[in-house]
Amino acid sequence: MSTTRKLIEALRERLGQADPLPSPPAIPRIQAPPARVFPTARTRSCYAEQAAAHTAAILGIGHVGTRYATDVVLQFQAELAVAHDAVHTVLPDDWAQSQGLLPLKSRVEDHHQFLLRPDLGRRLDEESLERLRGNAIQDVDIQPILADGLSAVATMGSGIRLLETFSNECRFRGWTVGTPMCAKYARVWLQDEIGETVGARVACILLGERPGLGTGDGLSAYMVYEPRMGKTDSDRNMISNIHARGIVPELAGRQLAMMAGAMLDQKTSGVSLDLSGLTAELGQAASGGYREPQRRVRLVETDR
C-alpha cells in the first residue's frame, strides 16, 4: 500500500470508520418562545411606545436569534404585498368612461412597458390626441387630469373625490375648468402635452404615487404653469401623500386650488413660484416637498 493510501486508512480509522453513525439526541421538552409581536398601541414594548411618538419606523420589535418574530414577518409581508399589489394593478380600459371621464392613453402598450419606458408614458398616443382635440374644451384656466401613475389602486380609490374637490374649488374661484379626463399608463410629464393641446393656463395631473411599505393608496398632484413639452421638474410644484391617513382629498383639493391661484397671479410655477404667503394654508407643500410620516397600522388580524 502506498504511503498516501495508508494515511487515508488511518484517517478513516480515526474518524470512526467502524462505528455506527450516532443516533439523534434525546428529545427535550419544547417550549414556545415568549410572545413577540409587531408593536401595536396595546402590545408594544416600552421602547416601541416611546419611539412611536417620534417616528413611524418599526422599532422595539425584538428578535428570535438574529431574525424577526413570526408576527413581525407577517406584518412585513402584508405591507410588502400591499405595495406590490398597488404597483401591479392595471386601470381597467373602461374605467374612465364608467366615471364619465374622457379616456386617454399614453404611447405605452402594456403595464410591463409602462414600468420600463418612462419616455413613452410622457406622450399621448395618436388616438388619444385626436380625441383630446375633438372632445375637450379649449383655452381653459385649469386643466385637471386624473391618471394611474404607479398606483391604479389609489386612482380608483380617492381619485374621483380629489378631481371633483379640486375642480369645484377652481370653479368657486371663478376660473374655467377643462373637460374631466383620465389618462392610462401616464407619467407626470404627460400633463405637458395634454395641457398644451387644450391650451390650458395651468395643468394639474393627479396620479397614484410610487407605493411605500404598507401604503399603496397615496396620490400625488403635480402642477405646471403654461404647460408645454420641454418643461422640466423644476417647472413643477407638487403635493404628495394624498390619502385617508395623510392629506385627505378634500384638503388637498383646496390646497391645490390655492397653488393654482398663486401660479395664475405670478404667471410662473416651479422653483420660481413664491408660496411663502401661503405657508399656513399649504403646510409642507409650500416648503417644497417631503412627505408627512405615514402612520403604521396593523394589517394582519386572524380569527381564533
Smallest gap, in angstroms, from Cβ of residue 66 to another protein?
A: 4
- Closest contact distance (angstroms) between CB of 72 and another protein is 7
Given the C-alpha cell 416637498, which residue does it identify?
A: 289
Minimum CB distance to another protein, residue 168 (Å): 30
| Cα end-to-end span (Å), the chain | 69
10/64 with CB nearer another protein: 64
Which residue number, 174 or 290, has a Cβ lying nearer to another protein?
290
**Residues composing the chain:** 304
CA distance 89 to 230: 30
Angle of CA points 229, 235, 240, to nearest 5°: 110
Please say which residue, 103 or 208, places its beta carbon nearer to another protein: 208
Positive/negative CA dihedral, 212, 116, 108, 189: positive
Closest separation in Å from C-beta 45 to another protein: 10
Q: How far is the CB of 173 from another protein (least distance, A)?
A: 31
β-strands 181-184, 102-105: how paired? parallel
**Block residue for cell numbers 375648468:** 177
Say how far residue 280 (Cα) sits from the centre of its chain: 26
> Cβ distance 189 to 222 under 8 Å?
no
CB of 93 to another protein, least distance (A): 21
Residue closer to another protein by CB (options 119, 265) is 119
CB < 8 Å & 24+ apart, contacts of 33-40: 33/64, 35/71, 36/61, 36/62, 36/63, 36/64, 36/69, 36/71, 36/72, 37/69, 37/71, 37/72, 38/71, 38/72, 38/74, 38/75, 38/298, 38/300, 40/298
State the DSSP string of 70-116: HHHHHHHHHHHHHHHHHHHPPPPTTHHHHTT-EEEEBS--SHHHHHH
Smallest gap from residue 64 Cβ to another protein (A): 9
Rounded Cα distance, 6 and 4, in Å: 5
Task: Tell me whether residue 57 or residue 229 sits nearer to another protein (CB atom).
Answer: 57
Residues lying near another protein in the complex (CB under 8 A) are found at 47, 50-51, 53-63, 65-68, 72, 76-77, 79-80, 83-84, 86-87, 115-119, 150, 210-213, 290-294
27/46 with CB nearer another protein: 46
Minimal distance in Å, beta carbon 158 to another protein? Answer: 19
Q: Which is nearer to another protein, 12 or 84 (CB)?
A: 84
Instruction: Give the nearer residue to another protein in terms of CB position, either 79 or 169.
Output: 79
